[in-house]
Amino acid sequence: MANIPEVTDSNFQQEVLESNLPVLVDFWAPWCGPCRMVSPVVEAVAEKFNGKAKFFKMNTDENMQTAVKYQIMAIPSLIIFKDGQEVERIVGFRPQRDIEAILEKFVSPQE
């Protein structure tokens, strides 16, 4: 399983918005049961898309500034960013194949 790094309010701009690759951010909180269910799914997707997209987790309890900016009203919320812009949002638990199909639209095909 992929070990997905944490992103914070302080490094969100650099790690996510300025990334050359599409970025999937998993907005979660430690007390959230569905967040624990979606975590291994996101890790499996991260493994499959290694080198084609970047993946981060953001604890909404500890990083409220970014959570408020992106109007995170329910968790888990997965947001895909491309070229510094939100391009897709997935709220709640979704199967791995659904997340992969959505992410596939935003990654560059391998040469």
Q: Where along the chain do its domains lie? A: 12-94
- Decide if pLDDT at 82 tops 80: yes
Q: What is the pLDDT of residue 2?
A: 60
Rounded CA-CA distance 74/85 in Å is 20
Just give the CATH number of 12-94: 3.40.30.10
State the pLDDT confidence band at 110, using cuts at 50, 70 and 90: low
Residue positions annotated with a catalytic role: 32, 35
- Please, where are the H alpha helices in 1-111? 12, 33-48, 64-69, 96-104
CA distances from 43 to 5, 13, 28, 47 (A): 11, 22, 14, 6
Residue type, 56: F
Query: Which sign, positive or negative, has the C-alpha torsion 73, 45, 103, 52?
Result: positive
- Per-residue pLDDT reduced to its tens digit, 17-66: 999 999 999 999 999 999 999 999 999 999 999 999 999 999 999 999 99
In this prediction, residues 61-85 reach a mean pLDDT of 96
Q: What is the pTM of this model?
A: 0.94
Mean pLDDT value across the chain: 94
CA distance 14 to 103: 21
